[in-house]
Amino acid sequence: DAGVTQSPTHLIKTRGQQVTLRCSPKSGHDTVSWYQQALGQGPQFIFQYYEEEERQRGNFPDRFSGHQFPNYSSELNVNALLLGDSALYLCASSFLGTAYGYTFGSGTRLTVV
């Protein structure tokens, strides 16, 4: 039973660059939510994708964008990287656009230098 798969696991980027993170949801799930977890903090909601549309967005700038594909997988793109974007980026999958029963991936650790 495949859980949530995220890639890559670690990434180092230079300030100003762009990055793309990828997520494959748990089998049977059709909704992907992205969260940013700074060191020592709880996850913060970036946005949710359901039926290939962004359904809800947290308090993140437009530099953060995403996409969901017909197979329910998703990408998170961050442009013009800042040092403060360094964090663990978590993908959570669920069903029917809800926040119930999230299954989280192990995350992508992004370091901006």
Partner 1 sequence: QQQVKQSPQSLIVQKGGISIINCAYENTAFDYFPWYQQFPGKGPALLIAIRPDVSEKKEGRFTISFNKSAKQFSLHIMDSQPGDSATYFCAARRTGANNLFFGTGTRLTVIP
- Taking CB under 8 A as the binding criterion, the range among 13-21, 62-70, 73-81, 103-111 that sits at the site for partner 1 is 103-111
Q: What is the DSSP letter of 85?
A: G
Binding mask 12-31 for partner 1 (x = CB under 8 A): -------------------x
HSE value, Cβ hemisphere, 13 Å, CA-based, for 39: 6
Q: How many CB atoms lie within 10 A of CB 76?
A: 25
Give, for 45, the enclosing helix (H) or strand (E).
strand 44-50
Q: Taking CB under 8 A as the criterion, which residues in 37-66 touch partner 1?
A: 40-45, 48, 50, 55-56, 58
Q: How far is the CB of 15 from partner 1 (least distance, A)?
A: 26
In this chain, which stretch among 11-19, 60-68, 70-78, 105-113 interacts with partner 1, using CB under 8 A? 105-113
Q: How far is residue 35 from each of residues 1, 42, 43, 91, measured CA to CA in Å?
A: 23, 9, 6, 6
Q: Give contact residues for partner 1 (rule: CB under 8 A).
A: 4, 31, 33, 40-45, 48, 50, 55-56, 58, 90, 92, 97-107
